[in-house]
Amino acid sequence: MTDIAPSSANLSAKLPLLLLIAAPRGFCAGVDRAIVIVERALEKYGAPVYVRHEIVHNRFVVEGLKAKGAVFVEELDEVPDGVPVIFSAHGVPKSVPVDAQQRGLSYFDATCPLVSKVHRQAERQVAAGRHILFIGHRGHPEVIGTFGQVPENTMTLIETVADAEAFTAPDPDNLAFLTQTTLSVDDTAAIVDVLQRRFPTIASPKGEDICYATSNRQNAVKAIASSCDAVLVIGAPNSSNSLRLVEVADREGTPARLIQRADEIDFEWLRGVATLGITAGASAPEVLVREVVAKLSEKFDVEEREVEEVRETVSFKLPRGLEAA
């Protein structure tokens, strides 16, 4: 009996892989606005245009803007005289635009309007004589910017349920809480529950501080996670909202990993995965999603299925002077 060798077609056959692609995903209105502000400023003034801090937390986006003439710095004193400067989407302390004005610098504020809303609420609560408990992550630019809106010692950072349990209030009847816009919805709710139990009169934000885009992307991951063997989140390691998406999937019982680009896909990790969830943080462009799908298609027979939880229609106006650049 003659042995029959397997055909090359059988050896090269790709395993099937169903991709459940979460929607909404990727750019939110605040990120889109911030990037357009940089691009319009470059059109209006020419290169270089300086940007204080990464305009959004995504290396691909930042490198693309660098190639067009944007220069990213961490502090205002790194900006030379006579060139325009842009403040990142995460917001800046009040002292930064004041310093820019004193130096006569032209500047544009790309702070997300939903972050600016939190800034105004902080000012109002302090003006009303309340001490603010701010739920957020230490060192994040949004937290630094929000603390910079009010006088020192009028706000305390709360990062965990343990922090909320341990906080001692000199005046328990004059407290308010606010939150970073890119937190885990579930984790934040647990912290708020503790604060409201311990301090029944604590003032709440007007509306939800966690932004619509953060909530929507977390809900979209929840919608697909139980049907997936694993989830890939496209985003940056310094992106708060992207890291929260990994946590959401993990909490649903589905292993998840954060990648920045397609070349970071660990195909060994995908061994045995038949259904893979894909999403992208609010500062990751759709081109990176398509790059990941294309890379997966090299190894698998891919079927794509988008799972849309809600359709986003939010948009924000550009600063005066850049609308028609």
- Give the active site residue among 75, 78, 123, 142: 142
User: Rounded to 5 degrees, what are φ and ψ at 68?
Assistant: -90, -10
Average pLDDT over the chain, rounded to an integer:
94
For residues 170 and 183, give the distance between their C-alpha atoms in angstroms, rounded to a whole number.
27
For the segment(s) 14-27+212-308, the CATH number from 3.30.310.220, 3.20.20.70, 3.40.50.720, 3.40.1010.20 is 3.40.1010.20
| Topology of domain 113-198, CATH | Cobalt-precorrin-4 Transmethylase; domain 1 (3.40.1010)
* DSSP per-residue string spanning 67-99: HHTEEEESSGGGSPTTS-EEE-TT---THHHHH
To 5 degrees, how large is the angle CA 7–CA 12–CA 13? 100
| Topology of domain 29-109, CATH | Rossmann fold (3.40.50)
Which uninterrupted H or E stretch holds 307? strand 300-308
Asked if 29-109 and 113-198 have one fold, the answer is no
In this structure, are residues 34 and 55 in contact, taking their beta carbons and an 8 Å threshold?
A: yes
Q: Does 78 qualify as catalytic in the annotation?
A: no
Q: Model confidence over 18-35: pLDDT tens digits?
A: 999 999 999 999 999 999
pTM recorded for the entire structure: 0.91
Q: Model confidence over 39-81: pLDDT tens digits?
A: 999 999 999 999 999 999 999 999 999 999 999 999 999 999 9
Q: Where are the domains of the chain?
A: 14-27+212-308, 29-109, 113-198
Whether the per-residue pLDDT at 6 is higher than 70: the answer is no
CB hemisphere CA count around 144 (13 angstroms): 12
pLDDT of residue 266: 98
